[in-house]
Homo-oligomer: A and B are copies of this chain.
Amino acid sequence: MKLLVANPNTSDVVLDVILASARRRALPDTEIAGLSSPNGTRSIDCAYGDYMSAPHMIEAVRRRVAVDRPDAVVLAGFGNVGIYALKELLDIPVVSISEASMAMACLLGHRFSTLTMLEQFIPYQQDLVRLYGFESKCASVRAININVEEAATHRERTLRDLSVQVKELVSRDQAEVVILACAGLCGYDEALSELSGVPVIDPVVAGVKMAEAFVSMGISHSKVRKFRAPPQPIADYGTEVLAPGQGGKVTPGRG
């Protein structure tokens, strides 16, 4: 099957990290193509960044899907970043890495915690847990203080900081499962899990596996109400302003 993995920020460093995780546990016959948002920000670290970056990614995904006809889309941003907009637009499964990892975490322990990048981003992440309806399964949201690109490159320091936080999550907040709530934290799951003794979820891995499962099941999201197609013609949503070029900085698939 073919998956399109969409990075809602503009960072190719982050896209590389995402694609590495996407491929790590994918099925042998899963082809994975990736794209970054052609405009916006290198790191979605606030609600403003979400709104500034996601529309470009949405539009890029819409065009790419029309051309490449993937079997499913994985939205590789740990946030809202337009996940419901994509589900409205598309009939194929669209899976956010945030909802996939939380849904899986529900089965893996009494309560999970999510680890995000910045202190100030915690309320945004708490709102996300509520949006998805997982409050009673969420022990806490905590932050390390590092930005998404640094996390992707300064592995040692990041791992050290993550370890400290994970221990707190387990002992103080009584979390039994930890979710790395940021694409930039991809790839730290196994080392952290070994250090802490609890399952640690790489959200991109979770998103890819959930998307594969949906494709394999022949199921997609309900189009009956919440995710019904936008009621107006797409052209009436002003899309053309967002993506003047023929795909902009879209990263070619490497699946």
Contacts and interface: CB of A to CB of B under 8 A. Distances in A.
B199 A109 contact: no
A112 B97 CA distance: 20
B107 A95 contact: yes
Given A107-B95, A107-B99, A238-B10, A48 B120 contact: no
Q: Which of A39, A120, A223 has the most CB of B within 10 A?
A: A120
Interface stretch (A63-71, A81-89, A152-160, A180-188): A81-89
Interface residues of A, number: 95
Contact of A84 (B111, B124, B232): B124
B85 A47 contact: yes
A224 B55 contact: no
A209 B217 contact: yes
A124 B226 contact: yes
Given A25-B218, A51-B82, A56 B106 contact: no
B109 A236 contact: no
Contacts of A238: 10, 39-41, 52-53, 56
A170 B228 CA distance: 14
A193 to B, nearest CB: 8
A137 B106 CA distance: 13
A160 to B, nearest CB: 21
Contacts of A134: 106, 133
A122 interface: yes
A230 B48 contact: yes
A13 interface: no
A100 interface: yes
Contacts of A144: none
20 contacts: A40-B238, A41-B238, A48-B82, A48-B85, A48-B230, A107-B221, A108-B220, A108-B222, A109-B225, A109-B227, A110-B123, A110-B126, A120-B225, A123-B225, A135-B136, A176-B227, A197-B223, A197-B224, A209-B213, A209-B217
